[in-house]
Every structure is written in structure tokens, then in C-alpha cells.
Amino acid sequence: MKRIILFLLVVNFFQVGHSQIVRGTIRDNSDHTKINFASVYINGTAVGTNSDQNGYFELDITKYASLPITISALGYYSVTLTDFSREKPIEVYLTPKTFELNEVFVIAKSTAKERKANLKLFRDQFLGSSYNGQNCVIMNEGDITFKNGTSHDTLKAFASKPILIVNNALGYRITYYLDKFEYYRKSKSFLYKGNAIFNEDLASEITQKKLFEKRRKNAYLGSRSHFFASLWANKLKSNGFIVRNSADEIINYEDIVIVRSGFKKYLSHKGNLSIYYLSNSPNSSIELFKDSVFFDSSGYFDGSGVRVIGQMAKQRIGDLLPYDYEIK
């Protein structure tokens, strides 16, 4: 009996010692008032919680201890924390979203025909034109408003509330906090910024699971997450990837990966990298804006330091998978 009790104490100590709980309070950056019911989560996962009536939260990040946490709230810009304390409570300040009154008036004057066209363009660019993207449904399109630039070349989208998405192709319900969306008609390019939390896996029946898994696997293979997860594990070649520099020389793991603090890995390279996936011609390319860019075994990478071009960039929210996805 004594041995059993001792064993249970040791197990409990081990679990407590290795669990990581982040605690803190969320405040308005302008007047420091506490923000209740804010979402605190790890972007691209189902791990999240909400702040209470006093702006206080606790989030267990044990499963994704190396990833940043994101805080979002209605009427505020999201904040992503990459460096935060695990030992003592933290203070998080959110900046209110403020739009000029004339922008609101311009938005309100848009006709039903213009709004219909803007919504279609937004869906195609935001969700994507792939089968997965075209089979997504935005449940609260009424919360999305649009503004055209003076030359009508730029279309901006604003979401007064988190965008609720049902992905009928991959079988997920997603909440997306949109901070920025701009589409440039002349160049047919766009940029968007935001964060997603996976609320529900819709795969229930066996037939559904098989169909969803097939589509999820196809969406994952050759994706940005697949590439960075393969790079982290030093399995680029075995997973079908070849990387070349601007001189068309093959680049290996040791040439572009820096390991810090014993386990954290960073992508570092001067110049563009061409990515080949199951092909003799480059599918995609990567341009770095920072000296080093953090990435994780889950396939997460710091998007603020990287621009992805080509096939991998064509995947949009409709092809998004949670970071804990694994091929079955």
C-alpha cells in the first residue's frame, strides 16, 4: 500500500511539475478597464478559454508550450504574445478598433448589388477557390462590411464580430478574428491578418470520418504546415520536399535551421528559397523579412517574418487545418 501511495504521489508531482498554466488579466489600452469575455487561445488549435467578468483568465498551454498565445475581443485588435511569463500573472492590453465616421457612411451607402459582388470577392479570396474553400459557409455575413478605395482599386473588409465558418469539406467549425483584409483589383493580390480557433470537429459517422480524412490529408500534403513540420523534423527529402537557393543549389537542414535554447528552431537564410514538392519544378518560394523566423514541430511558423508565394500560398482559410492534425 505504501508503495502505491508513493507511486501516485510521484506521478502527481510529475504531472503538476510539467503542466503549464498561463494566468493574467486583459485590459483596454486606452483607459485600462478590464475586458470580460475576451478569447484567449493558441491560434490554429482548439485550445482556448475566455476571460471572466473581471478580465481574468487561466489557460493550460502544456500541449503547445512553445507556441504564442493570442487574445481577441469584440471591438479590439488581437494581440499575440510570444514572450510571456509562465510563473506569474501577466497583464495584456488590447487596442480598440476605431474607424473614421466617413468610412462608416461610405460603407452604409453601398448598394445591394455592390455588397453582393463584394461578398463574392471576399469569399473567393478569404476562403479560397479550392473545393474546400467553396464548401465553406460564413454563418454571420451580416457582420462583415466593405469599403472601396477612392479609385475603386482597393477593397477593404471589416468584421464587427468574429467570423463564424462551417467547413463542410474538411469537417470543422472555426471562429476567425479578422484584423485586416485588403484586396487590390489591379494586381489581383490581397493581404489578410487574423487568428483562428477550431471550435468543433464535425466528423462523427464512419463514412464522414473517412471522407473528411481523405480531404484533410490532401489539404495537408504540400502545405505550409507540412513543409515547416518536415523541416523541424529534418525530414524534407523523405516527405517529398526539395529546397534550393537563388543559385539553384540544394539547401539542407543544417544550412537554414538555427537551434536556440536547446530546442527552439528558427529558419534563417539570405535571399529567396524555392520549394519543390513532388515535382521537378518549384511549386512555391519563401522570402524572409527577419534574420530568423521561429517555427515549431506542429507546422506553426511566425507569419510576420515570412512571405510565401506560389502553390502553398493559394491555400486559404478553407484549407486550414488545426496544428494538432496528423495523417492517419
CA–CA dist 233, 225 (Å, integer): 12
Can you give the pTM of this predicted structure? 0.87
pLDDT at residue 17 in the model? 45
Mean pLDDT computed over 306-310: 93
Q: What is the pLDDT of residue 100?
A: 40
| Residues sharing a CB contact under 8 Å with residue 133, sequence separation 6 or more, in sequence order | 123, 124, 127, 316, 317, 318, 319
Chain segment 78-117, per-residue pLDDT in tens: 999 988 878 899 999 999 987 543 454 455 556 888 899 9
pLDDT of residue 207: 83
Extents of the domains making up the chain: 2-94, 101-201, 208-319
Condensed to tens digits (0 to 9), the pLDDT of residues 122-172 reads 999 999 999 999 999 999 999 999 988 777 789 999 998 999 999 999 999
pLDDT for the residue 103: 53
pLDDT on residue 138: 98
Instruction: Tell me the CATH class for 2-94.
Output: mainly beta
How many Å separate Cα 74 from the centre of its chain? 18
3-state secondary structure the chain: CHHHHHHHHHHHHHHHHHCCEEEEEEEECCCCCECCCCEEECCCECCEEECCCCCEEEEECHHHCCCCEEEECCCECCEEECCCCCCCCEEEEECECCCCHHHHHHHHCCCHHHHHHHHHHHHHHHCCCCHHHHCEEECCHHHEEEEECCCCCEEEEEECCCEEEEECCCCEEEEEEEEEEEEECCCCEEEEEEEEEEEEECCCCHHHHHHHHHHHHHHHCCCHHHHHHHHHCCCCCCCCEEEECCCCCEECHHHHEEEECCCEEEECCCCCEEEEECCCCCCEEEEECCCCEEECCCCCECHHHEEEEEHHHHCCHHHCCCCCCCCC
Cβ-contact 144, 158 below 8 angstroms: yes
Given a contact cutoff of 8 angstroms between Cβ atoms, the answer to whether 176 and 194 are in contact is: yes
Instruction: Please report, rounded to a whole number, the percentage of residues in the chain having pLDDT higher than 70.
Output: 91
For residues 121 and 183, is the Cβ–Cβ distance under 8 A? yes
Best CA proximity match to 300, nearest among 217, 235, 243, 228: 228
Higher-confidence residue: 86 or 223?
Answer: 223
Q: For the residues 24-34, what does the mean pLDDT come to? A: 95
Question: What is the reported pLDDT for 109?
Answer: 56
The answer, yes or no, to whether residue 220 has pLDDT greater than 90, is yes
What local confidence, expressed as pLDDT, does residue 5 receive?
A: 44
Percent of the chain with pLDDT over 90: 71
